[in-house]
Amino acid sequence: MKWNRIEVKLGSSILMLFLVVLLPLGFVIDQIFTGFYYTKAKSEIDHLSTRYANYIHSVEDAEILRMFEQLANLTHTELYIINKNGEVVANSGIPGLPKGTSVGQETVKSLALDHSLSAEYEDPVSHQRYVVSGKAVFSNSFFEGGIFVVSSLAEIDQSIYKIRQLLLLSGIGAFFLAVGFTFIISRKLSQPLIKMEEATRKISKGELDTKVNIQSNDEIGLLASAINDLSVELKRYRDNRQEFFANISHELRTPITYLDGYANLLKEGLYQSEEEKQQYLNIIQQESQRLIQLINDLFDLAKMEEGRFDLTFEQVDVAEAAENVVSKATLKAKKKNISLYLESEENIPFIYGDGLRIEQIFLNLIENAIHYTEQGFIKVRIFMKTNDTVGIIVEDTGIGIPEEELIHIFERFHRVEKSRSRNHGGSGLGLAIVKKLVELQKGEIRVTSKVGKGTRFEILFPIIKDETS
Ligand code: ADP
């Protein structure tokens, strides 16, 4: 057994506490009983000695003395009588004080002065203990001697001994009960902690399916469910990471394969004309750009997820940002015969964000819209959603996104149609970046779509006054 275990610590603390309570309690109970018996015995003989002293007027009369001795025998009490010199003149049977012996001048003096005394007396012969109550005997106001009623403490001592035995027995019983109780309680407390310790060790070794099975609604139960949540979270993180690396390698491999293939063609001179050579070089350039774009996107996304992405916050005119992007993208849209236009309400207040990043959001959404639309139009709308929210809508009449795909659309590398996406140089990171950028600027983004009809992205930005002012 390890001595630093919680069972031992808790157990010994409870036992200590128990002893601290039990020992003084036992002492007090003992004192109460002892006091009660002794006081009772003392008051009984005190009462008796007072009554006897009232009857006796002379300690010289042998007849009276004998009568008192007999009376003592009849009432099962012991007594002795002394004269004014302290000499024992009558004795009902106390072995240590035969007639003719003396009790000492101190006793006589104190009796003559106080008229009564009470004491404890141990017989030198039988070693029996007595309580003594003495009363002075007066005759015509002259001190004649004293009568002492004596009660043996043997019976009381016996009763007290029995009570002490009982107290001790119940104390030992209670102690063992406490030991058992403490053991059960400490086990009950430490067992779940041990389980949790084992579980966390397993989790730290990578066994992320580990579950702690503790059903209780106290702090221990809460800790167990926190450990379970932690393992689920770690598992999700690990799966995510694995998937992330698999996706990255896939995304990198495709352009690199192209680069390698076309570079080889050129190196081996496997082209028919200068035009074909230029075509290959164009592909190499496009793929290199795609690679650079992918790496930049990845880098940005990683920084955003780690919270290390720096935004330059300022008051931004969303309508102006939209206009800039729309005018840049118009040519691309025209090439596909799609009309791209911007509708903006008058006097849209500025929002608090990063101007360049707001443009990046527009660019990603509009470029996607152009790419996934074959005919119709793309409309960008800026409006006041509520008094303190600016709304942005980018909608198209394109191919749309199936309902079941909508919840995954903002995940990294998620694409509805892989080949189509690749054609326009998409990495599958565009919408993930858009969502992060929107959230970093305290906005929110939603998407609705109908296959064959079109897609609509709606972004809401709160109007916040410059936080630094
Ligand atoms: P990608 O680089 O592949 O376009 P995104 O993250 O920008 O990556 O988009 C993820 C996927 O969402 C795309 O592959 C595409 O399937 C779908 N998508 C995005 N925008 C639209 C849109 N306007 N219309 C239809 N599908 C879209």
Query: pLDDT (tens digit, 9 = 90+) per residue, 326-362?
Result: 999 999 999 999 999 999 999 999 999 999 999 999 9
Residue 426 has pLDDT above 90, yes or no: no
Q: What is the mean pLDDT of residues 397-404?
A: 94
Q: What is the mean pLDDT of residues 456-467?
A: 85
- Type of residue found at 102: S
In this structure, the residue with its CA closest to atom 13 of ligand 1 is 415
**Which positions ≥6 away from 414 have C-beta within 8 Å?**
405, 408, 428, 431, 432
In this structure, the residue with its CA closest to atom 2 of ligand 1 is 426
Angle at the Cα of 140 from the Cα atoms of 45 and 42, rounded to 5 degrees: 10
Residue 247 — very low, low, confident or very high, per pLDDT cuts 50/70/90? confident
**Starting from the edge strand earliest in sequence, which strands make up the sheet with 129-139, in order?**
88-91, 78-83, 142-152, 129-139, 116-122
Residue 237 has pLDDT above 70, yes or no: yes
* % of the chain surpassing 90 pLDDT: 46
For 458, phi then psi, to 5°, come to -120, 130
Separation between Cα atoms, residue 397 and residue 376, nearest integer Å? 6
**Sign (positive/negative) of CA torsion 271, 294, 446, 408?**
positive
In this structure, the residue with its CA closest to atom 7 of ligand 1 is 430
More confident residue, 76 or 102: 102
Specify the pTM.
0.59
Separation of CA 324 and ligand 1 centre (Å): 22
> Could you report the per-residue pLDDT of 354-397, keeping only the tens digit for each?
999 999 999 999 999 999 999 999 999 999 999 999 999 999 99
Task: Report the atom number in ligand 1 closest to the C-alpha of 433.
Answer: 6
Q: Which of 195-209, 352-366, 408-422 has the lowest mean pLDDT?
A: 408-422
- Type of residue found at 187: R
Separation of CA 421 and ligand 1 centre (Å): 7
Residue 4 — very low, low, confident or very high, per pLDDT cuts 50/70/90? low
Separation of CA 303 from chain center:
34
Separation of CA 410 and ligand 1 centre (Å): 9
- Type of residue found at 323: E
Q: What is the mean pLDDT of residues 155-176?
A: 88
Q: What is the mean pLDDT of the chain?
A: 88
Structural contact between residues 459 and 390, judged by C-beta atoms closer than 8 angstroms: no
Task: Report the atom number in ligand 1 closest to the C-alpha of 369.
Answer: 23
Confidence at residue 8, expressed as pLDDT on a 0 to 100 scale: 78
What are the structure tokens assigned to 195, written together?
């389980």
In this structure, the residue with its CA closest to atom 3 of ligand 1 is 428
Task: Report the atom number in ligand 1 closest to the C-alpha of 399.
Answer: 25
Confidence at residue 469, expressed as pLDDT on a 0 to 100 scale: 47
Task: Report the atom number in ligand 1 closest to the C-alpha of 396.
Answer: 23
Separation of CA 293 and ligand 1 centre (Å): 16
Task: Report the atom number in ligand 1 closest to the C-alpha of 394.
Answer: 23
More confident residue, 72 or 135: 135
Residue 197 — very low, low, confident or very high, per pLDDT cuts 50/70/90? very high
Task: Report the atom number in ligand 1 closest to the C-alpha of 364.
Answer: 7
Separation between Cα atoms, residue 145 and residue 79, nearest integer Å? 14
In this structure, the residue with its CA closest to atom 4 of ligand 1 is 426
What are the structure tokens assigned to 81, written together?
């009588």
Q: What is the mean pLDDT of residues 42-62?
A: 85
In this structure, the residue with its CA closest to atom 16 of ligand 1 is 416
Confidence at residue 65, expressed as pLDDT on a 0 to 100 scale: 86
Q: What is the mean pLDDT of residues 177-197?
A: 85
Q: What is the mean pLDDT of residues 75-79?
A: 80
The ligand 1 site (C-beta within 6 Å) comprises 368-369, 372, 396, 398-401, 409, 414-417, 421, 426-432, 455
Confidence at residue 312, expressed as pLDDT on a 0 to 100 scale: 93
Separation of CA 368 and ligand 1 centre (Å): 6
Q: What is the mean pLDDT of residues 416-424?
A: 62
User: 117 to each of 42, 91, 97, 127, 291, how far by Cα in Å?
Assistant: 11, 18, 18, 21, 116
Separation of CA 89 and ligand 1 centre (Å): 128
CA proximity to 29, closest of 168, 177, 125: 168
Confidence at residue 285, expressed as pLDDT on a 0 to 100 scale: 95
Separation of CA 373 and ligand 1 centre (Å): 11
Confidence at residue 334, expressed as pLDDT on a 0 to 100 scale: 95
Q: What is the mean pLDDT of residues 37-50?
A: 88
Q: Which of 82-91, 179-188, 302-311, 453-462 has the lowest mean pLDDT?
A: 179-188
Most confident of 18-27, 311-320, 420-429: 311-320
Separation of CA 451 and ligand 1 centre (Å): 13
Separation of CA 418 and ligand 1 centre (Å): 10
CA proximity to 447, closest of 433, 431, 424: 431
Annotate 70-108 with b (16+ C-beta within 10 A) or e (fewer).
eebeeeebbbbbbbbebbbbbbbebebbeeeeebeeebb
More confident residue, 10 or 374: 374
Confidence at residue 2, expressed as pLDDT on a 0 to 100 scale: 63
Separation between Cα atoms, residue 359 and residue 326, nearest integer Å? 10
Confidence at residue 62, expressed as pLDDT on a 0 to 100 scale: 82
In this structure, the residue with its CA closest to atom 21 of ligand 1 is 368
Residue 418 — very low, low, confident or very high, per pLDDT cuts 50/70/90? low
Residue 108 has pLDDT above 80, yes or no: yes
Structural contact between residues 77 and 132, judged by C-beta atoms closer than 8 angstroms: no
> Mutate which of 431, 446, 450, 453 to test ligand 1's pocket (most atoms within 8 Å of Cβ)?
431
Separation between Cα atoms, residue 79 and residue 70, nearest integer Å? 10
Separation of CA 366 and ligand 1 centre (Å): 11
Task: Report the atom number in ligand 1 closest to the C-alpha of 414.
Answer: 10
> Mutate which of 298, 301, 372, 419 to test ligand 1's pocket (most atoms within 8 Å of Cβ)?
372
Task: Report the atom number in ligand 1 closest to the C-alpha of 454.
Answer: 24
Structural contact between residues 120 and 131, judged by C-beta atoms closer than 8 angstroms: yes
Residue 420 — very low, low, confident or very high, per pLDDT cuts 50/70/90? low
